Structure 1
Amino acid sequence: MGRKQTDGGVASGTQPWIRYRSRIDSETVRSYLLGVSGVIGFLILWHLLSLTQPDIVLPSPIAVGERFVDELLSGDMTTALQQSMMHWLPGTIVGTALGVGAGVILGWSRTADQITAPVVRILRPIPPLAMIGFAIAWFGINHVGAAFIIALGAFWINFYATYGGVESVSDDLIDVGRTLGVNGNLATIRTIVIPSALPEILTGIRTGIGRCWMLVVAAEIFGVPGIGREIQRASTNLLVDRVIAYILVLSLMFLVVDTLFRVGQRRALRWRA
Structure 2
Amino acid sequence: MASRELTKPQLIEIGSVAVPLGLVRQIRRGLVGAGAFVIGWTLLARTVPDYLLPPPLAVLTAFAAELTTPATYTLLGVDVQLTEMLVVLLQSLAHYLPGLIMGVGLGAPLGLALGYSTRIDEYLSPAVSLLRPIPPLAWMGFVIVWVGIGHAGAAVIVAIGSFWITLFSAYGGVEELPEEWIEVGRSLGVESDLTMLRKVVVPGAAPSIFTGIRTSIGRSWMIVVAAELFGAPGIGYRIIHTAQSLSMDVSMAYMLALGLAYLGSDVGFRLLRGVVEP
TM > 0.5: yes
Q: What's the CA shift for 1:19?
A: 5.6
Q: Return the index of the structure with the highest Cα Rg.
A: 1
Q: What's the CA shift for 1:29?
A: 1.3
Instruction: Select 2:67's aligned residue among 68, 72, 78.
Output: 72
Equivalences for residues 199-238 of structure 1 within 5 A: 199-238=207-246
Task: Name 1:27's counterpart in structure 2.
Answer: 22
Specify the SS of the correspondent of 1:57. Answer: coil
Task: Name 1:49's counterpart in structure 2.
Answer: 44
Equivalent position amino acid for 2:143 in 1 = A
Task: Name 2:75's counterpart in structure 1.
Answer: none
Task: Name 1:246's counterpart in structure 2.
Answer: 254
Gaps of 5+ in 1: 1-14
* Residues 154, 19 of structure 1: alpha-carbon distance in 2 compared, 3 angstrom cutoff: closer
Q: What's the CA shift for 1:225?
A: 0.7
Specify the SS of the correspondent of 1:222. Answer: coil
Task: Give the Cα–Cα distance (whole angstroms) in 2 for the partners of residues 29 and 222 of structure 1.
Answer: 44
Q: What's the CA shift for 1:265?
A: 2.6
If each structure's helix is expressed as a fraction of its own residues, which one has the higher value? 1
CA root-mean-square deviation: 1.8
Instruction: Select 1:92's aligned residue among 100, 116, 123.
Output: 100
Residue deviations 1:40-82, cap 9 Å, x none?
1111111111111110111100000000011111122111111
Task: Name 1:188's counterpart in structure 2.
Answer: 196
% identical equivalent positions: 45
Residue deviations 1:117-142, cap 9 Å, x none?
11111111111111111111111112
Gaps of 5+ in 2: 13-18, 70-82
Task: Give the Cα–Cα distance (whole angstroms) in 2 for the partners of residues 253 and 130 of structure 1.
Answer: 25
Task: Name 1:8's counterpart in structure 2.
Answer: none
Stretches of 4+ aligned residues off by more than 3 angstroms? 17-21, 266-269
Equivalent position amino acid for 1:145 in 2 = G
- 2:139 matches 1:131: yes
Report the number of matched residues.
257
Equivalent position amino acid for 2:105 in 1 = A
Normalising by structure 2, we get a TM-score of 0.88
Equivalences for residues 107-122 of structure 1 within 5 A: 107-122=115-130
Equivalent position amino acid for 1:98 in 2 = L
Task: Name 1:12's counterpart in structure 2.
Answer: none
